[in-house]
Amino acid sequence: MQPRCLGLIVACWISLVAVSAAQQENRVRMAEGEYIAADGNLGIGHVETEIFHFRESWTLWRTPTGDYEVEGERSFESPQYFSHINPFWIHLTKDFHVDEIKEFTRLRFIRDSGPLTCSLRADKLHCTSGAKDPVQSLDLDLEMEHPYAIMWPISAFSLGSLVRATKDRVGEKVPVEIVTLEEGSEDLPLLTVTSEGSICYLGQDRVPFEAMGQRWTPKVYELDSSPVRHLLIWTTPDGLVLAAQQSKDENSKLQLVSFRKFQDF
């Protein structure tokens, strides 16, 4: 490579790093919080992929363009007694739809992998395993027909994005799809499993929800799909998930236990 070409590449890389740093500095911290499923099994997924002792801490940022980013860390057991600690990043549109996620983890059957990145477009899901060597990267594309969410293993922000499909029309079931990502084998290191279902807005709960001195009158939704079974979801009026629970099992509950708001969103 000619010295001039190498110098141009280095200059471009430095410029990109500078732009990225400037974007980071111009972000506004909006809120931070933590979700916990304190009683063990969330009752989500197959027996071998059920989620135990889930904890998710996060910080919400608004970018200079008016959309949002979430940075955080998840810890959980899946299967039971097999621990995971995964940092993550989520990009949200201005109306809080999830359109990109990154899980900073290595896939079980691909040594050169990570971060796992998925782009969620209205009609297509694209995921890539990531790799230091691009040749080793595994890419998946999936055509989507209805509003959908990814469960990897579960995300309150994915659930919050999905409830917007109801447009808060009480009692109307809206077709949705739930996509789970599974690590199968060396021959099938990453595969998508799509399950059809529906989500329905049930109205406002009469019982207020409180966290860290804040009080909300929550909206309630029911998500019915095989990976999550019958999942009740409570949100704030602006769509932040407060809790999610198996409808017939109060012990299978994800709940916002810590919350601090710095700016309105």
User: In the chain, where are the structural domains located?
Assistant: 28-261
Residue 232 contacts residue 221 (beta carbons within 8 Å): yes
The residue assigned the tokens 């111009």 is 26
The confidence score (pLDDT) of residue 11 equals 41
Average pLDDT over residues 112-119: 95
Q: Taking residues 70-81, what's their average pLDDT? A: 89
Average pLDDT, the chain: 86
pLDDT of residue 181: 86
Measure the CA–CA gap between 243 and 36, rounded to whole angstroms: 9
pLDDT at 221: 97
224 confidence band (pLDDT: 50, 70, 90): very high
pLDDT at residue 15 in the model: 39
pLDDT tens per residue, range 34-65 = 999 866 677 666 656 678 889 999 999 999 99
Nearest to 258 by CA among 28, 29, 55: 55
In this prediction, residues 127-146 reach a mean pLDDT of: 92
- Residue 4 has a pLDDT of 43
Question: CA 133 to CA 170: how far, in whole Å?
Answer: 50
Q: What is the mean pLDDT of residues 115-130?
A: 95
Share of the chain above pLDDT 90, in %: 58
Higher pLDDT, 42 or 136: 136
Count of C-beta atoms within a 10 Å radius of residue 247:
13
Q: In the prediction, which pLDDT does 151 show?
A: 84
Burial level of 66, CB count in 10 A (0-12/13-18/19+)? exposed
pLDDT given for residue 48 in this prediction: 62
Is the model's pLDDT at 177 over the cut of 70?
yes
> Quick one: pLDDT at residue 7?
44
Secondary structure of residue 195 in the 3-state scheme: strand
pLDDT of residue 16: 37
Mean pLDDT of 201-221: 91
> How buried is 233 (Cβ within 10 angstroms: 0-12 exposed, 13-18 middle, 19+ buried)?
buried
Mean pLDDT value of segment 128-133: 93
Q: Is the dihedral of CA 167, 169, 171, 174 positive or negative?
A: negative
Q: What confidence score (pLDDT) does residue 153 get? A: 76
- Mean per-residue pLDDT, 15-24: 46
